[in-house]
Structure 1
């Protein structure tokens, strides 16, 4: 079995790495190649380009890197058409993958898209493009297949692989021991994103909020997991915005930090779902270039942006976006979680229900669906 795959950014690499486990179980001699990151490489994936080449933040950043990204897509398509794989799996990155999938599908290469784009939240017009591009869509959330099928898109609900890998009962004590934290420590995790653009726009407000938190609670432990390659970007920001604050930078280890913390100050994205599966209260913050924000705001359909709120259909955690993502408000909402144990318990109960809903042995279900598509079955 020879599969081509493209995973965009750190979240796509994580999902693709988990999917590869199921694919390799079914096809032990699987050859997988294309664009991916370190999680995929650890599974033996042959990355022709690293996935951080596709990581952009908003429309302005996408336009700035358009030529480079289009050139990569064209070269990848030519390479795959010259030596066709058994099938193609595009993991997230719809703006990159859907165009590529359409070209491959027209040449007779079966194309599967893993992760339904958020057409229920914004840019619903992409459903038509998906019908033209994909043979099948693997959906993370239970309400998505019916929505896609209305637009003529074949789809399956496979659950979310993170719900399979993250335990229902978070290993809080073990994570604290591994990180050198005491049971009695109050711990705040800072997760300002995994892309350079996110760090540049979001980290300054998060770091200034951390300084306010430290003044309010001098004994507070502040942990910041650093995505690969971003430490040189973060360290100057730390010196500029929180010079005397004892923030501990950790290379990776985000899951340990989420398991250990009492609350997280976190950028909107897949990480918010990870935090929910770890049953952690959070304050979601997000900023982007002003033009990108105006465009995205006009395209939105829902009152929520954070995945935990979207899936719970309620503002179960605060969202502080764009101009509201400022240090004083971020610190105030974070302290509010630390001071309200009953509110935390109620949230954890909702997150446990969500975890059960999303836990579906995703790698096996997704692999079964991919096998059926490649074998030409409905």
Structure 2
């Protein structure tokens, strides 16, 4: 008998992840049909796209408010479809605001629900655990420490590993990466990763570039490499950079291999100055010392405090490498501390302290081994076990 599986992913990373899970299920079992919200990777598996993923892809609170009417229309339309033509299981990939609400409705109507990528309740708004318990039949989590949280709350949970740990090799060739980017093989290189959003470039490009200026004064042979996600972000960054000249500055927005350009940059660098986010985990998987930084505008900071009801995370760390290692393994310089003087001093240690660098690389190697699981296989097994009940 054919099994119907509904899946919703709201961002490009979720589209790729969901497509691999779909292929994992297809390898396990025939006669599966898939529908829901997704992007090109999910469509390529044969999944029927009820609504394009672009409808859910919003960045930040302001964008979300502007997109509210289409988000509501999409939610109502998909909810109606799924309740009229019930799937055997529903899989929500990240996008917690959309997915948890829909999962709650579907579970109440007898449809098993799986949520992949647990919301960061360990950092913000732990009270969401009650909503998750009502909405989710089974949680699939990226990080091993998350399982204890859900087990304590009586929610079925499986650690499936982080897909990035399988995509990024355990060992990479720094000289090969430098050649691919047109860099001198013997040059010391600092990667500058100011983020992919307009708001991040706006707030971080200036302090990051001024940090590079200070470092270049100290070491005129130091090279700086900056990956930017597209031409628009490159133009925005260059507009700021023209008033803050930095020698040996290389800016990339085009792929030089099958990898995202940011990965080539991470592979080629000796250390990185990186905006807090997934890029910090990627940098750790490339075994690179880093300085984590971030700034929020006063308005966004107020909105976050209002929405979460807290001024800071429950855990003392912001960067994922520190959260996973349960220590301040790498420095975090946020808000007022994200200034050129403090950032440059931290970068000097990341570039020059041999003992510190060696110890950090060992920690990152062990972290990589822990997170490297057959994510698609593990997720597929859980989803199919619910679909076949």
> Which bracket does the TM-score occupy, shorter chain normalised?
0.7 to 0.9
In structure 2, the partner of 1:313 is 326
- Name which of 340, 344, 360 aligns with 2:373: 360
Return the offset for 1:115: 1.1
Q: Does 1:288 align with 2:296?
A: yes
1:187 to 1:14, Cα distance in 2 relative to 1, 3 A: farther
Q: Which secondary structure state, in structure 1, belongs to the residue aligned with residue 311 of structure 2?
A: helix
Q: TM-score, normalised by structure 1?
A: 0.88
- Name which of 326, 351, 361 aligns with 1:338: 351
Are the equivalent residues in 2 in contact too, given 1:138–1:156 (CA < 8 A)? yes
Are the equivalent residues in 2 in contact too, given 1:210–1:242 (CA < 8 A)? no
Counterpart-to-counterpart distance in 1, 2:54 and 2:205? 22
Counterpart-to-counterpart distance in 1, 2:154 and 2:194? 38
In structure 1, the partner of 2:265 is 257
In structure 1, the partner of 2:160 is 158
Q: Which secondary structure state, in structure 2, belongs to the residue aligned with residue 298 of structure 1?
A: coil
Q: Which secondary structure state, in structure 1, belongs to the residue aligned with residue 126 of structure 2?
A: coil
Counterpart-to-counterpart distance in 1, 2:264 and 2:108? 44
- Provide Cα deviations, 1:306-347, integer angstroms capped at 9, x if missing partner: 110011111111111122223333233223211112211110
Q: TM-score, normalised by structure 2?
A: 0.85
Counterpart-to-counterpart distance in 1, 2:97 and 2:215? 38
- Name which of 190, 193, 198 aligns with 1:191: 193
- Name which of 306, 314, 317 aligns with 1:301: 314
Are the equivalent residues in 2 in contact too, given 1:60–1:291 (CA < 8 A)? no
Which deviates further from its counterpart, 257-266 or 7-16? 7-16
Counterpart-to-counterpart distance in 1, 2:211 and 2:136? 43
Return the offset for 1:86: 3.6
Q: How many residues align?
A: 373
Q: Which runs of 5+ in 2 are unaligned?
A: 255-259
Counterpart-to-counterpart distance in 1, 2:339 and 2:39? 32
Q: Which secondary structure state, in structure 2, belongs to the residue aligned with residue 54 of structure 1?
A: coil
1:95 to 1:334, Cα distance in 2 relative to 1, 3 A: same
Q: Which runs of 5+ in 1 are unaligned?
A: none
Are the equivalent residues in 2 in contact too, given 1:88–1:109 (CA < 8 A)? yes
Counterpart-to-counterpart distance in 2, 1:21 and 1:196? 34
Counterpart-to-counterpart distance in 2, 1:264 and 1:101? 39
Q: Which secondary structure state, in structure 2, belongs to the residue aligned with residue 188 of structure 1?
A: strand
Return the offset for 1:364: 1.1
Return the offset for 1:10: 4.4
